[in-house]
């Protein structure tokens, strides 16, 4: 992969030379820590034929624009002129840990095909728990035809924490199944069919109204460890946690303790403190915990490239630029 990146970067650099001197802003540095790097590079080159795209570690140190996923500090230090850093995903927590050039703004992917995936994943987890499909699977596995009493929907209010583009879509989707749905966010929001609460003052009320809690918060110093004994014990008895945000939101031993104490029925976790989840981790042995390997919503590369290319083409100082991260808030 590394060889193919440097070869194609060299090819683009010479294209740039052939078409004459190039605006510095058209030089884009690409840095991603996963295996899609080559796909991104090819896609970006097709979407932005006038730009020179170079991939880390063969990047142009004059670049004012970067497109990244989990870049290293070395990448940031090598590009002091960056004015805009496009994040290939929705969560920017990995970027917020780095020292960025002081003038740089971060722009995250807005929806980009992820909201519908989140809605699918969370609806599936809520419905699987509510309709007791895990029990029917166990009955079927043991050859038992064992109907159970239908659950009562009003006994399963769902609370969605974090009402950004993805959280809104999830809350709205759950409301379509007629669950009582509560939403909680830092600033007030309005969503059809959802009782929206906000701020620290309404947090305890939000928790006490909720039986199935869905975490979709950005990870910031203020939200790290927010899913703790103190918060989860306020859920209605038989509470259930769905975490599709970041593993660091959850105090893992508090979840196990609340399941053992019988206050929580279980959890669906797409994210964990350590990823991949180590083989000996207690979560693997808990039948009440459904685990998936951080796949709830994956960046749809084609849509993400189209979104970034549109923003790059509009100009780095475009007044209509959206998806800009508030560096003070961290999301
Ligand atoms: C995935 O976790 C993302 O932040 O896009």
| 107-118 residue pLDDT tens | 999 999 999 999
pLDDT of residue 16: 39
Determine whether 122 is exposed, middle or buried from the number of CB atoms within 10 Å of its CB (0-12, 13-18, 19+).
buried
128 is catalytic: no
Residues 6+ apart with CB under 8 A from 172: 119, 191, 192, 193, 194
The tokens for 256 are: 């196990």
User: In the prediction, which pLDDT does 36 show?
Assistant: 75
- For the segment 243-284, what is each residue's pLDDT rounded down to a tens digit? 999 999 999 999 999 999 999 999 999 999 999 999 999 999
- pLDDT of 8 strictly over 90: no
Q: What is the DSSP letter of 244?
A: -
Report the nearest-CA residue for atom 2 of ligand 1: 91
Instruction: Locate the ligand 1 atom nearest the alpha carbon of residue 246 and give its number.
Output: 2
Which segments of 110-228 does DSSP mark as H helices, in order? Answer: 114-130, 133-141, 165-175, 203-209
pLDDT of the residue at 63: 96
* Ligand 1 contacts CB of residue 89 (under 6 A): yes
Q: Is 294 part of the annotated catalytic residue set?
A: yes
pLDDT greater than 50 at residue 155: yes
Ligand 1 atom at shortest distance from the alpha carbon of 271: 2
Same fold yes or no, 21-112+300-314 and 114-291: yes
Q: Beta-carbon neighbour count of residue 165 at 10 Å?
A: 16
SS3 string, 39-82, reads: HHHHHHHHHCCCCEEEECCCCCCCCCEEEEECCCHHHHHHCCCC
- Render pLDDT for 48-83 as a digit per residue (tens, 0 to 9): 999 999 999 999 999 999 999 999 999 999 999 999
Task: Flag whether pLDDT at 7 surpasses 50.
Answer: no
* Domain ranges across the chain: 21-112+300-314, 114-291
Q: What is the pLDDT of residue 26?
A: 86
Residue 297 CA: nearest ligand 1 atom is 1
21-112+300-314 folds as Rossmann fold (3.40.50)
Ligand 1: which of 36, 90, 112, 303 to mutate, most ligand atoms within 8 Å of CB? 90
Say what the pLDDT of residue 5 is: 28
Q: Is 190 left (phi over 0), alpha (psi -120 to 50) or beta?
A: beta
* C-alpha span between 90 and 112 (Å, rounded): 9
Number of other residues whose CB lies within 10 A of the CB of residue 47: 18
Contact 135, 271 (CB under 8 A): no
Q: Which fold has domain 114-291?
A: Rossmann fold (3.40.50)
Range 173-198 average pLDDT? 98
Contact 121, 270 (CB under 8 A): yes
pLDDT recorded at residue 317: 87
Q: Tell me the per-residue pLDDT of 89-145, one tens digit each, with 9 for 90 and over.
A: 999 999 999 999 999 999 999 999 999 999 999 999 999 999 999 999 999 999 999
pTM over 0.85: yes
Residue nearest atom 4 of ligand 1, based on CA coordinates: 91
């Amino acid at each position: 992969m590394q060889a193919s990146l440097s070869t194609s970067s060299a090819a683009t650099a010479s294209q740039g030379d052939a078409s004459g001197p190039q605006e510095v802003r058209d030089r884009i540095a690409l840095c991603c820590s996963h295996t899609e790097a080559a796909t991104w590079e090819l896609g970006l080159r097709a979407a932005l034929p006038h730009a020179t795209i170079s991939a880390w570690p063969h990047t142009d140190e004059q670049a004012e624009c970067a497109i990244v996923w989990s870049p290293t500090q070395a990448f940031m230090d090598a590009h002091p002129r960056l004015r805009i850093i496009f994040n290939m995903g929705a969560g920017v927590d990995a970027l917020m840990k780095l020292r960025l050039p002081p003038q740089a703004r971060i722009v995250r992917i807005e929806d980009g095909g992820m909201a519908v995936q989140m809605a699918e994943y969370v609806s599936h987890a809520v419905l699987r728990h509510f309709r007791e499909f895990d029990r029917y699977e166990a009955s079927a596995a043991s050859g038992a035809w064992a109907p159970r009493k239908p659950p009562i929907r009003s006994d399963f209010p769902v609370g969605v924490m974090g009402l950004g583009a993805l959280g809104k879509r999830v809350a709205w989707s759950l409301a379509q199944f007629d669950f009582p749905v509560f939403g909680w966010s830092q600033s007030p929001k309005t969503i059809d069919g959802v009782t929206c609460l906000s701020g620290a003052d309404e947090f305890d009320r939000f928790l006490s109204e909720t039986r199935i809690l869905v975490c979709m918060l950005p990870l910031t110093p203020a939200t790290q460890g927010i899913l703790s004994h103190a918060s989860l014990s306020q859920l209605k008895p038989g509470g259930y946690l769905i975490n599709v945000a970041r593993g660091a939101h959850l105090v893992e031993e508090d979840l196990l303790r609340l399941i053992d104490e019988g206050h929580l029925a279980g959890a669906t976790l797409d994210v964990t403190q350590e990823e991949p989840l180590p083989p000996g981790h207690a979560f693997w042995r808990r039948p009440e915990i459904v685990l998936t390997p951080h796949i709830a919503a994956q960046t749809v590369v084609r849509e993400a490239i189209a979104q970034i290319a549109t923003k790059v083409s509009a100009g780095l100082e475009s007044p209509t630029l959206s998806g800009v991260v508030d560096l003070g808030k961290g999301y």
